[in-house]
Chain A
Amino acid sequence: MTRLSLLLGLAALAAGTSARAAELPAEIKQAGALKLTVNSTYAPMEYRDPATSELVGLDIDLAGELAKRLGGLKITWSETPFAELIPSLQTKRADFIISGISDRASRRETADFVDYLVTGPQFFVLAESEAKAAIDLCGKKVGTTRSTSFPVEIEKWSKQNCEAAGKPAIQYVPGENSIDVRNQLKQGRIDAAVQGSETLPYAQALEAGKYRIVGEPFAKGYQGIMFRKDDTALREVVMEKLTAMIADGSYKAILDKWGLGANAVATPLMNAAPQ
C-alpha cells in the first residue's frame, strides 16, 4: 500500500515537473503573500514562543522557507482551533494548511495532502509509572486530544492487541489539547497518554524527567500539507519546492533544528498515509 502510494506520489511529482514548471496561482503572485492558518498549540510544530509571543516551530520554519522559494512571498498568519483548520481551507481563509495535521483517508474527502513528515501516535506515562510495555496499558485509562485522529488509533490498537489477547480494552479519556492531556496525566486522571511522536521530545525537554515513552509509535502515519482538491497548481508548485529543499539539505536542517531529523521523508508524498 505504501509502496503503491509512493509510486503514485512519484508519478504525480514527475507529471508536475516534466510537463511544465509548475506555476504559482496568479492570485497569490499578485498579492505577494501567502495566507496560512495554524493551530498554535502543538509544540514544536507550531506554538507561540512564551518569551516573545512570536509564532515559531518546525512548520513555521518550513513554510517560511517555502514562501522564500515561491518568489519571496510574505506570509500572513492566522490562528484557529484544530478542528477549524479544514473549514479554513475550504472557505479560502488559508491558501494551504501546514499545521501538524495528519494525512488521513477521512480528511482526503475534502483535501489533498502533500506528506512531509513521518509521525505516529506514541504512548507515554509519568516516569514513576509501573507500565513497562504498551501491553501493560490494556484496561487502563489512556487520554489524548479528542480533535485528533488518535482516539480512533487507540481504539484500533486496543482491539488488535488487548481484546484479541483476551485482556480488557483501553479506556479512552478525551482531552482538549496536548497540554490538557498532560495535565490530566500529572493529576492521575489518566494512567497514560498519547501524542504524536514528533511532539514528545519537546515535551520531555520542557519538563525534564517527568515523562517516559512506552514502546514505539503504534501506527505509522504522515503529517501533510493540506490543499484544496481543485488547487492543483499551488499543490504542484509547493511539492516542487519541497523536493528541492529535501535535495539541497535545507529541509533536513530545519528538522534537525527541532530535534526531529529522524522523522524526515525521503521525498514528498501525495496522500500516502496508509489510512
Chain B
Amino acid sequence: MKAAPTVAEGFPDLSGMRLAREPHWFRWLGAALIILVLAAIARAFAGGQIEWSYVGRFLTAKVILEGIVNTMVMAVLAMALGIVLGVVAAIMRLSPNPVLRSVAAGYTWLFRGTPLILQLLLWFNLALVFPTIGIPGLWTARAVDVMTPFLAALLGLGINQGAYTSEVMRAGMLSVDIGQYEAAQAIGMGRLRALWRIILPQAMRVVIPPIGNEFIGLVKATSLASVIQYPEVLHNAENIYYANSRVIELLIVAGFWYLLVVSILTPLQMLLERRFARGTMRLAR
C-alpha cells in the first residue's frame, strides 16, 4: 500500500516553502498619510485663532451644565412621548379598521413631511392661532402661558419623533413571524392582548438598534429648540458667545458635551439590546 501522493503528478511540491510576506507598500503609505493629515489638523487647532483657556473655563460653567441637563431632560421626555405615539400609530397602522389606518398614515405623513424647525416655530407661535386654550366651562388659559418654550419644544420634538418611531415599530411588528399572530389567536387571545404579550416583546429585539439610533439623533435635534428659547446646551453656549464673541471656543464646549453624552448612550444601548435578546442569545452572539 502506497501513501497517496500529496502533489499531483507533474507539479512541484511547494509544501516546504516559506510564505513570503507581502510588503503592502500602499497600505503603509496610506496609513502614514492619514497620520500626517490628522497631525496637521491637530496642529492647526492648537495654533489657530482659538483661545483654549476659554474652552477650559466654560467647559464646566454653571449655565453649560444646566444646559446639558436640560438637553437630556428634553431628549428623554421627547423620546418617551415619541415611543408612546409611535407604538400607538404603528398599531393603528396595522389595524383592519380603515379609519385608524388612514389617521395613522396621515400622522406619519404630516410630521415626517415638514421640517422639525418649522414644527417647533409653529408650536411656539401657536397663540397667533389660538389666543386662549382650555376646556370649555372648566378651565381656560392664555396660550402663551401654557405653551412655554419647554412645552413647545417637548410637543414639537416628541410628536415629530413619534412619526419616525411609528415606522420603526411597524417594521419591528412586521418582523415577527405570522405564525406567532396565528398561535395567539388560536389560544383565544384578543388582538391587543396578543400584541402586548406576544408580538411587541419579540419586536423589541429588532427595534432597539434603530430606536437607539433615533435617540442619539434626538439628543442632537434638541439643539433646534434653541430658536424657541429653550435653554438647552447650545442655546446657553450661544448666549455666552453673543456676549464675549468667543464663538469657536463655546462651540467646542457644546460639542464636547454632546460627544460625551453619545459616548455614554452607546454602551447603554448594548445592555438594553442584550436584555431583549435573552430569548435568542445564540443568534445575538
- Taking Cβ atoms with an 8 Å cutoff, the residues of A that contact B are 83-84, 86-87, 90-91, 106-107, 109-110, 146-148, 152, 173-176, 180, 183, 186-189
CB distance from A191 to the nearest CB of B (A): 11
| Residue pair B144, A188 in contact (C-beta under 8 Å) | yes
Say yes or no: is B142 at the interface (Cβ < 8 Å to chain A).
yes
| Residue pair A187, B127 in contact (C-beta under 8 Å) | yes
| Residue pair A183, B128 in contact (C-beta under 8 Å) | yes
Q: How large is the interface on B (under 10, 10 to 19, 20 to 34, 35 or more residues)?
A: 20 to 34
**30 A–B contacts, CB within 8 A, in A order:** A83-B238, A83-B247, A86-B247, A87-B247, A87-B248, A91-B49, A106-B244, A106-B245, A110-B245, A146-B229, A146-B238, A146-B239, A147-B238, A147-B242, A152-B243, A174-B229, A175-B229, A176-B227, A176-B228, A176-B229, A180-B227, A183-B128, A186-B128, A187-B125, A187-B127, A187-B143, A187-B144, A188-B127, A188-B142, A189-B127
Say yes or no: is B54 at the interface (Cβ < 8 Å to chain A).
no
Say yes or no: is B241 at the interface (Cβ < 8 Å to chain A).
yes
Answer whether A90 and B49 are a contact pair too, CB < 8 Å, given A146-B242, A187-B143, A188-B142. Answer: yes
Q: Which residues of A contact B247 (CB under 8 A)?
A: 83-84, 86-87
Q: Which residues of A contact B49 (CB under 8 A)?
A: 90-91
Q: Which residues of A contact B125 (CB under 8 A)?
A: 183, 187
Q: Which residues of B contact A175 (CB under 8 A)?
A: 229
A-B contact sample (5 more), CB < 8 A, given A176-B228, A189-B127: A148-B242, A175-B229, A176-B227, A183-B128, A187-B128
Closest residue of chain B to A173, judged by CB?
Answer: B229
Closest residue of chain A to B247, judged by CB?
Answer: A87
Q: Which residues of B contact A84 (CB under 8 A)?
A: 247
Q: Which residues of B contact A90 (CB under 8 A)?
A: 49
| Residue pair B242, A86 in contact (C-beta under 8 Å) | no
Closest residue of chain A to B231, judged by CB?
Answer: A174
CB distance from B66 to the nearest CB of A (A): 15
Q: Which residues of A contact B244 (CB under 8 A)?
A: 106
| Residue pair A106, B243 in contact (C-beta under 8 Å) | yes
CB distance from B151 to the nearest CB of A (A): 13
For A110, A148, A187, the residue with the greatest tally of chain B CB atoms inside 10 Å of its CB is A187
Q: Which residues of A contact B242 (CB under 8 A)?
A: 83, 146-148
CB contact list, B125-161 vs A, under 8 A: 125, 127-128, 131, 142-144
Bound complex: CA of A187 vs CA of B144, how far in Å? Answer: 7
Closest residue of chain B to A84, judged by CB?
Answer: B247
CB contact list, B233-270 vs A, under 8 A: 238-239, 241-245, 247-248
Q: Which residues of A contact B239 (CB under 8 A)?
A: 146, 174
Residues 185-196 of B, flagged 1 when their CB comes within 8 A of A and 0 if not, give 000000000000
Q: Which residues of B contact A180 (CB under 8 A)?
A: 227
Closest residue of chain A to B238, judged by CB?
Answer: A83
Bound complex: CA of A174 vs CA of B241, how far in Å? Answer: 15
CB distance from B197 to the nearest CB of A (A): 47
CB distance from B69 to the nearest CB of A (A): 19
Report the 4 A-B pairs with minimum CB-CB distance, sorted nearest first: A187-B127, A189-B144, A147-B242, A174-B229
Bound complex: CA of A175 vs CA of B228, how far in Å? Answer: 8
Bound complex: CA of A189 vs CA of B241, how far in Å? Answer: 25
CB distance from A146 to the nearest CB of B (A): 6
Q: Which residues of B contact A109 (CB under 8 A)?
A: 245
Bound complex: CA of A274 vs CA of B238, how far in Å? Answer: 25
Bound complex: CA of A110 vs CA of B239, how far in Å? Answer: 18
CB distance from B74 to the nearest CB of A (A): 17
Bound complex: CA of A90 vs CA of B227, how far in Å? Answer: 25
